[in-house]
Amino acid sequence: MDELRSELKRGTIEMILLILLNSKEMYGYQLVSELEKRGGALFQVKEGTLYPVLYRLEDKGFIESYRDIPERGVPRKYYKLTKSGIGYLQELLSEWRSFVNVIESFTEPKER
Amino acid sequence: MTMRDSYLADVAKHITAHREQKEQFINDLRAHFEEGQAAGDSDMAVIDRLGQAEDVAAEFMTNIQIKLAGFWERTLAFLVDMALCIYTMVFMYGIVLGVPYMIFGGFSSESLLKLAEDVFTLKMLGSLTIILIPMLILVVLGTGALFLLYFPILEAQFGQTLGKRLLGLRVLKERKTAIGMKEAFLRRLSYYVEILALDALFIPFTDKKQRAFDIVAKTIVVRDPGYRRNAVAILLAIVLFTIPFFALLALILTNDPHIIIRL
């Protein structure tokens, strides 16, 4: 079960991060906390491995980052979705939905 | 060093080359600690959630494109390393045997020839034998250690030997993170158990261009990013390992030890 779960996580983590960033711009730590809050135990990931995924998305031009230096506190690096990122997310989501539908259809009892 | 710093240093240690991207990543992780601290988490709790330093580094390395090194460049690097080891060995023997001979026989090509003759005929200078024998044993042990340890120590410490550095090659784990002592010694086992490195013949035929003992140690050899191969380095490499070869050839052909000194 663990193996399936980690494979699923690996395959969907980019989509999940894009969904989260689609709702609002976030900085790394916030993104991770949000993921944990909403994903719970099912989406527990080692946080250190999320940054490389963000870099990958940034390299592909799906998200972009900017620095925000508040008057007090830690300088933050915010990530936000780009136009092509929004398009890519739509593609990922429709792919995901059709995938889930097909799997669902497999589990339905077959008509004679 | 705080717990946080040593964790970040650990992550950095496992990431190979790519200085700018690496620094950016380490800075982001440092910011992560600071956010965690602001939210009331201890460094230990943050580290626990970040994950094993090597896993984090390995995930980072998945973004990095590598180029596997081929058979010929690796062979060339190996020959350079062997040449360097042989030079060091000759130098050590030269000091131990040559210096006493020169002191007693004078600084001349005759005394050097006498030395060569005595070494070849296993005759040692009578009164010096007692000093020479233990020194010779030390040198034998020293050069033995050199040949056994040169590769693994340098590769574990720097990811490359001098020959690999000259040709811009680097040893990584299969997951592209830096290797440690364990991998460095494992992949070198081939040289301890074989006289000829037969396992190098695996390189052209394996997916990841691995020697047999690369597969055992789960290591790969890649081209150092940012290194620009140049003709001078390759020429230097070839000259380095062909000098002893030609010297030996000349000796055999002429059967005259004078030739070495004239060379």
> Which pLDDT tens digit goes with each residue over B31-72?
899 888 888 888 988 898 898 999 999 989 988 888 999 898
Residue where a domain stops, chosen among B16, B41, B61: B61
What tokens were used for B240? 């380095």
| B66 within domain boundaries | no
CATH of residue A61's domain is: 1.10.10.10
Residue B263 has pLDDT above 90, yes or no: no
Q: Is residue A102 part of a domain?
A: yes
Q: What percent of chain A has pLDDT over 70?
A: 96
For residue B55, the enclosing domain spans: 3-61
Cβ separation B21–A55 shorter than 8 A: yes
- Same domain for B132 and B41: no
pLDDT at B109: 65
Judge whether residue A50 has pLDDT over 60: yes
CB A91 within 8 A of CB B61: no
Indicate whether B263 belongs to any domain: no
Mean pLDDT of all residues in chain B? 82
Which residues of chain A have a CB within 8 Å of the CB of B34?
A: 74
The distance of B179 to chain A (nearest Cα, Å) reads: 20
Strand intervals (E) in chain A: 26-27, 63-68, 76-81
Phi first, then psi, for residue B42 (nearest 5°) are -75, 160
Between B248 and B120, where is the model more confident? B248
Indicate whether B166 belongs to any domain.
Answer: yes
- Provide the percentage of residues in chain B whose pLDDT is more than 70: 79
Domain that holds residue A40: 2-107
Return the H-helix or E-strand segment holding B214: helix B212-217
Mean pLDDT of B170-189: 93
> Which member of A52, A74, A75 has the closest CB to residue B62?
A52
User: How would residue B142 be classed by pLDDT, with cut points 50, 70 and 90?
Assistant: confident
Q: Which residues contact B84 (CB under 8 A, 6 or more apart)?
A: B150, B162, B163, B240
More confident residue, B117 or B56: B56
Q: What is the 3-state secondary structure (H, E, C) of B171-209?
A: EEECCCCECCHHHHHHHHHHHHHCCCCHHHHHHHHCCCC
Asked if residue B25 lies in contact with residue A65, where contact means CB atoms within 8 angstroms, the answer is no
Which of B14, B33, B61 corresponds to the end of one domain? Answer: B61
Mean pLDDT over B104-110 rounds to: 63
Best mutation site among A13, A14, A26, A29 for testing chain B: the one with the most B CBs within 10 Å? A29
Alpha carbons A66 and A79: distance in angstroms, whole number: 7
Whether residues B13 and B90 share a domain: the answer is no
Number of domains in chain B: 2
Residue B84 resides in a domain: yes
Question: What distances in angstroms separate CA A78 from CA A24, A28, A29, A71, B204, one per listed residue?
Answer: 10, 7, 10, 16, 46
Residue type present at position B15: I
Give the pLDDT of residue B108.
64
Q: Which of A27, A33, A47 sits opposite B51 (nearest CB)?
A: A47
* Chain A: residues touching B (Cβ < 8 Å): 27-30, 32-33, 46-49, 51-53, 55-56, 59, 73-77
